[in-house]
Amino acid sequence: MSGSVCNVAMIGSKFMGRAHSNAYHNVAQFFDLPLQPVMHTVSARNADELSAFARRWGWQNTTTDWREAATGAEIDLVDLVTPNNIHAEHAIAALEAGKHVACEKPLAGSIDDARQMVEAAAKAKGQTFVWYNYRRCPAVALAHQMCQEGRLGQIYQIRGCYLQDWGGPDTPLLWRFQGDVAGSGALGDLCAHSIDVARFITGDEVAEVVGATLETVIKERAIIEESGGEISGTGAATSQKTGASTVDDLVLFVARMESGALATFEATRLATGYKNANRIEIHGEHGALRFNFERMNELDWYDATLPKKLQGWTTIGVTDGAADHPYVDAWWPPGHVLGYEHGFVNQTADMLASLGGQTPLAPLPDFADAYKVQQVLQAAIESSTQRTPVAISEIG
């Protein structure tokens, strides 16, 4: 990095490319940063689409050669928003070239790829980050602070579920439904977030997947030429042909945490009526917390230490006390709510703080941290296949 500037190269330009571009474009307008991000280079395969993307979002240079973006002499931070199966190749090349690397979640499409990424990061001089962006929602960051303060006491139970409905039978065979590309379906795409948020809030780790069921409900999907969007699934089919969907549509599993607390995790892209219900509940001896991303500016809190006549769920508006709630003092006056994109901006601010030698507001997941989520994902897959409990220690 040169002086107070961080030159960023991003590989990929679809849904997450837009979210990350928006973050780089806006972060310096709201946060006081030790480093200013420069949107230096964006890389993707389709040159025409790439040029239009760069013009729209403000990237200075484009290339269809991802290695040029990952290893270019002027680049400081390489941001990966590519499908899961190529995270490892891109990340390792960037790390070996001395770059910092930010990678979309899950860390990789397979446990072997994830392990190689962690090993490469351990030998590299660059910092690593993983985009578990829901940690940067003010409500989730506040829940983390409350647990750190001991307000819940001993944790008894965790419930994490992530419900979406966009993956119905009319959704074509996007890369997210191809196991050799995605690695898994709702498990890695959605449940990974729930696992990470549970770990982040409580500071506890999953010790064992007690039992898991992964189900592919829609086994054939229409083959398309262009999706028109990663999630919406619009686009014209090339023919009447269909192809096999080789990932899970829904997943349910029970886990035991290292503390002894029990956790249940559920994820599906077939939850009719839910668009993005990322929920978590945590119950402890002194209180309980619950969060639903569809009401992302609220955190529910139950204080069991109050006299019985005063006990009840309290809804905390996390944009109401700007100076006291995580991240919101950088944004708008109290009561002016935040949205989906703000989590990415908040994470970008924390990454740049870390790269500039400062302490981020909340812990950032690096490759080693994200590998712990990958171990849980793998344990769930093996538990479902073998119909048996799987200890995380068995996942090397």
pTM check: above 0.85:
yes
Q: Nearest Cα to 296, choosing from 282, 316, 312, 270?
A: 316
**152-200 pLDDT tens trace:** 999 999 999 999 999 999 999 999 999 999 999 999 999 999 999 999 9
Q: Nearest Cα to 265, choosing from 211, 315, 215?
A: 211
- Residue ranges of the chain whose pLDDT lies below 50: 227-237
Task: Enumerate the β-bridge partners of residue 214.
Answer: 251
**What pLDDT does residue 322 have?**
64
Give CA–CA dist 351/5, Å, rounded. 13
**What pLDDT does residue 229 have?**
44
**What pLDDT does residue 324 have?**
84
Residue 363, Cβ density class (10 Å: 0-12 exposed, 13-18 middle, ≥19 buried): middle
* Domain architecture of the chain: domains with CATH: 5-133 (3.40.50.720), 135-335+372-383 (3.30.360.10)
**112-145 pLDDT tens trace:** 999 999 999 999 999 999 999 999 999 999 999 9
DSSP string of 134-157, one letter each residue: GGGSHHHHHHHHHHHTTTT-SEEE
**What pLDDT does residue 232 have?**
43
**What pLDDT does residue 231 have?**
47
